[in-house]
Amino acid sequence: MIDATKLTEKVTFIVQDTKTYEWKDVATVYAYISGMKNSEYWINYIGGNAEEVLNVSVRYKKCLAELIPQTSGMIHNGIRYDIINPPDDVLFKHSEIKFRVRRQIS
């Protein structure tokens, strides 16, 4: 289980409507956000595509566990990130979900 004192960042998960293509809020929660290690950043940067990749951990919510990466995203500090992997229900204990999100910089 994630330590509650680490959940300091407020994020909103969003999903795109398949008919209208509008983004709708799914849930606003507190999250723990960590960036890539220095070596991981430079491996991504070498290819010329500068992107910011973050790891996001939140408490388990069924609506978040059902998000699909192709039609889902996250907003943090007014910046939209794409979810790039399926939600990971850590050890299938329904206590924590981890996401990997990305934002194109260049």
Range of the domain at 76: 4-104
Q: Is 27 within 8 Å of 67 (Cβ atoms)?
A: no
Q: How high is the pLDDT of residue 11?
A: 97
**Spatial distance between the Cα atoms of 39 and 104, rounded to a whole number of angstroms:** 18
Q: pLDDT per position in the chain (106 positions), as tens?
A: 778 889 999 999 999 998 998 999 999 999 999 886 655 555 566 666 667 889 999 999 999 999 999 899 999 999 999 999 999 999 889 999 999 999 877 5
State the pTM of this model.
Answer: 0.84
Residue 49: which CATH number? 2.40.10.270
What pLDDT does residue 2 have?
A: 77
